Amino acid sequence: MDKKRVVVTGIGVISPVGIGLDKFWKSLIEGKSGIDTITTFDTDDLPSNIAGEVRDFNPENYIEKKEIKRLDRFTQFAIAATKMALEDSKLNLLQIDRTRAGVILGSGIGGATTWEEQHSVLLEKGPRRVSPFFIPMMIINMASGQVSMAFDLKGPNFTVVTACASGTNAIGEAFKVLQRGDADIIISGGTEAPITRLSMTGFSSMKALSTRNDEPSKASRPFDKDRDGFVMGEGAGIIIMETLDSALKRNARVYGEIIGYGSTADAYHLTQPSPDGEGAARAMKASILDAGILPNEVDYINAHGTSTPLNDKFETLAIKNAFGEHAYKLAISSTKSMTGHLLGAAGAIEFIVSLLATFKNEIPPTINYDNADPECDLNYVPNRAINRTVNVALSNSMGFGGHNASVIVKKYK
Rounded to an integer, what distance in angstroms lies between the CA atom of residue 294 and that of residue 392? 11
Host H or E run for residue 351: helix 346-360
Q: Are strands 101-106 and 185-192 parallel, antiparallel or unpaired?
A: parallel
The pLDDT value given to residue 130: 96
pLDDT digits (tens, 9 = 90+) for 279-301: 999 999 999 999 999 999 999 99
- Whether pTM exceeds 0.85: yes
106-131 pLDDT per residue, tens: 999 999 999 999 999 999 999 999 99
| Confidence class for position 274, pLDDT limits 50, 70, 90 | confident
Specify which residues 10 forms β-bridges with.
240
CA terminus-to-terminus distance, the chain: 23
Write down the catalytic residue from 101, 140, 164, 390.
Answer: 164
Domains defined for the chain, CATH in brackets: 6-249 (3.40.47.10), 260-410 (3.40.47.10)
Burial class (CB in 10 A: 0-12, 13-18, 19+), 326: middle
Is residue 164 flagged as an active site residue? Answer: yes
Task: Report DSSP state, residue 279.
Answer: H
How far apart CA 287 and CA 374 sit, in angstroms, is 28
Name the helix (H) or strand (E) containing 311.
Answer: helix 309-323
Question: What is the pLDDT, as a whole number, of residue 401?
Answer: 87
Residue-wise pLDDT tens digits, 36-66 = 999 999 999 999 999 999 999 999 999 999 9
pLDDT of residue 276: 82
| pLDDT (mean) for 182-195 | 98
What phi, psi does 127 have (nearest 5°)? -65, -30
User: Is the pLDDT reported for residue 271 higher than 80?
Assistant: no
pLDDT tens digit string along 227-258? Answer: 999 999 999 999 999 999 999 999 999 999 99
Model pLDDT, residue 1: 67
